[in-house]
Structure 1
Amino acid sequence: MDIAGKSVVVTGGASGIGAALARHAAQAGAKVCIADLNMDLAKSVADEIGGIATACDVTQESQIIAAIAAAEAAHGPVDVFVSNAGLGRGDPSHAASASDADWMLNWNVHVMAHVWAARALLPAMIARGSGHFVNVASAAGLLNQIGDAAYSATKHAAVSFAESLLITHGDDGIGVSVVCPQYVATPLLGLGDADAQGNLLTASDVAQAVWRGVADGAFVILPHPDVGKYNALRGADPARWIKGMQMLRAKALSEHGSISVESFYKLV
């Protein structure tokens, strides 16, 4: 899909990957609505790119519906919906140690927010015979994030839901892209563009890969190409893959004394 002139909504668009996606979409000629919990930051980015901002808590279906309504009032029917909002809390201790509240927060942000957006938009998109969903998952949705079981499980579910969308509605003219980046220099890691090097990409790098993928009609978008190789290895020999991940976990504990996303990116 060529996004020039299209109406695009980006959740979690006030910072990090979301803000980069919004900026690049606007540069490509799209009409952008930024939906975010942080209205001040969202408005700042929207003003910068000539878009609009709306407050949105993606754990609430009603607020996703309201964000869509705001975008449509300003820019017409939504052509592309980017479910980008995300979070990571980590396991307090063992793999099942996160509270039920944290599990449900991960579930609602990483899965149900995607479902609610599709539920609201699909009927009109199917009637028009066009539309595109960009569901930002993670390399953890294909592989695993050591030390955050809730994140990994819900990102796997996000990939699965995106696949279901495309299987069911690809013949209706609906496009779907699921984005599975590895580590990115964003506020989620406490990092910025100046910290990016090697396999640590900037948010702008990821955004460029995403919009290239959407233009090409790609389903799985891998800003870090190595993720595809790892996924193939995982499928070819699951036992060897698990052993390798156990060794990586042990290395993280040995070198950093704990398992945290903020330090884990240095090991891959």
Structure 2
Amino acid sequence: MIIEGQAAVVTGGGSGLGAATARALAGAGARVALLDVDADAARDLARELGGVALRCDVTDPRAAADALAEAGAAHGPARVLVNCAGIGTARRILGRDGPQPLDAFARIVQVNLIGSFNMLRLAAAAMAGLEPLADGERGVVVSTASVAAFEGQVGQAAYAASKGGIVSLTLPAARELAQFGIRVLAIAPGLFLTPMMRTLPDAVQASLGASIPFPRRLGKPEEFADLVLHCVANPALNGEVIRLDGALRLPPR
């Protein structure tokens, strides 16, 4: 798909991987809508990019539908959806205070997995009604998984399960939506320099970066965004989960 001139929606677009993706899409000529629960962060970046910012809880069906409708009114129907909204906190299944509260596990799955599916189903419904582009293509959905889906560490049961769900969702979604000319992909990043990572001490960041075979540093959000652009632009990519991790394989702890 030629990105220039297309309408795109990025969830979690106010910071981190989502913000870098929004910048990259806008730089490639897309009209970008940034959806985020942090409306102020999204608004500041949207103003810079000439896009629109919309407050959206991706787990809320009505809020998500309304946000996509507002984005469509501003930019036209989106042919690109990038799911970057997500949360992650480390917590053991059995801790000093007993078993992990069920609602803590459910919340992470709700945002990361169900929220991504919510946006996918709604965006795909709109894309299916659009006129096809070259090769019959109507749209592209790229979701954010994680290497934790494959090598979840101690304390990552909820996060790994939520990202593993995105991995397992990608192929059946791509197969089902192929009849409409909609491609579905996921990227599984390793250790990236996101706002969450920046809260750690410099020494810890350096140690984590050194654990990556090559390049021996934390990933840059711009590198994630570059891969999103390629996913959108390359029509042969479909149903795939792409690791972006510098050959990292997470240890148990």
Can you list the C-alpha shifts for 1:95-135, whole angstroms capped at 9, x where unaligned? 89432211221121111112212222223322334111111
Taking the aligned partners of 2:163 and 2:99, their CA distance within structure 1 comes to: 18
Residue of structure 2 in register with 1:265 after alignment: none
Taking the aligned partners of 1:4 and 1:151, their CA distance within structure 2 comes to: 34
TM-align CA RMSD: 2.2
Offset, 1:191: 5.4
Residue of structure 2 in register with 1:166 after alignment: 174
Can you list the C-alpha shifts for 1:190-222, whole angstroms capped at 9, x where unaligned? 259x96852411111111122123222433233
Residue of structure 1 in register with 2:88 after alignment: 88
Q: Is contact 2:113–2:163 with CA below 8 Å preserved after alignment?
A: yes
Can you list the C-alpha shifts for 1:151-190, whole angstroms capped at 9, x where unaligned? 0011101111122110111232111110100010011212
Taking the aligned partners of 1:124 and 1:41, their CA distance within structure 2 comes to: 27
Q: Does 1:39 align with 2:62?
A: no
Mapping 1:203-218, distance limit 5 Å: 203-217=221-235, 218=237
Q: Does 1:201 align with 2:219?
A: yes
Residue of structure 2 in register with 1:221 after alignment: 242
| Structure with the largest fraction of helix | 1
3-state secondary structure, aligned to 1:117: helix
Q: Does 1:107 align with 2:109?
A: yes
Taking the aligned partners of 1:133 and 1:189, their CA distance within structure 2 comes to: 26
Offset, 1:92: 4.0
* 2:218 partner letter: L
Q: Is contact 2:14–2:42 with CA below 8 Å preserved after alignment?
A: yes
Taking the aligned partners of 1:205 and 1:191, their CA distance within structure 2 comes to: 20
Residue of structure 2 in register with 1:260 after alignment: none
Mapping 1:51-130, distance limit 5 Å: 51-92=51-92, 94=94, 97-128=99-130, 129=132, 130=138
Taking the aligned partners of 2:89 and 2:31, their CA distance within structure 1 comes to: 33
Taking the aligned partners of 1:52 and 1:97, their CA distance within structure 2 comes to: 42
Offset, 1:224: 2.1
Can you list the C-alpha shifts for 1:62-119, whole angstroms capped at 9, x where unaligned? 1111110111010011111111111111114638943221122112111111221222
Q: Does 1:133 align with 2:111?
A: no
Please report the TM-score for the alignment, with normalisation by the length of structure 1.
0.79
Taking the aligned partners of 1:143 and 1:6, their CA distance within structure 2 comes to: 36
- Runs of 5+ in structure 2 lacking a partner? 133-137, 210-215
Q: Is contact 1:91–1:97 with CA below 8 Å preserved after alignment?
A: no
3-state secondary structure, aligned to 2:185: strand
Question: How many residues are paired up?
Answer: 231
3-state secondary structure, aligned to 1:70: helix
Residue of structure 1 in register with 2:212 after alignment: none
* 2:119 partner letter: A
3-state secondary structure, aligned to 1:175: strand
Please report the TM-score for the alignment, with normalisation by the length of structure 2.
0.83
* 1:114 partner letter: S
Residue of structure 2 in register with 1:180 after alignment: 188
Taking the aligned partners of 1:11 and 1:144, their CA distance within structure 2 comes to: 24
Taking the aligned partners of 1:87 and 1:151, their CA distance within structure 2 comes to: 8
Cα pair distance change 1:205/1:156, threshold 3 Å: same
* 2:179 partner letter: D
Task: Find runs of 4+ consecutive structure 1 residues off by over 4 angstroms.
Answer: 194-197
* 1:202 partner letter: K
Tell me which moved more, 212-221 or 101-110. 212-221
Offset, 1:141: 2.1
* 1:224 partner letter: D
Q: Does 1:154 align with 2:162?
A: yes
Cα pair distance change 1:99/1:31, threshold 3 Å: same
Q: Is contact 2:34–2:42 with CA below 8 Å preserved after alignment?
A: yes
Q: Is contact 1:142–1:180 with CA below 8 Å preserved after alignment?
A: no
- Runs of 5+ in structure 1 lacking a partner? 231-244, 253-268
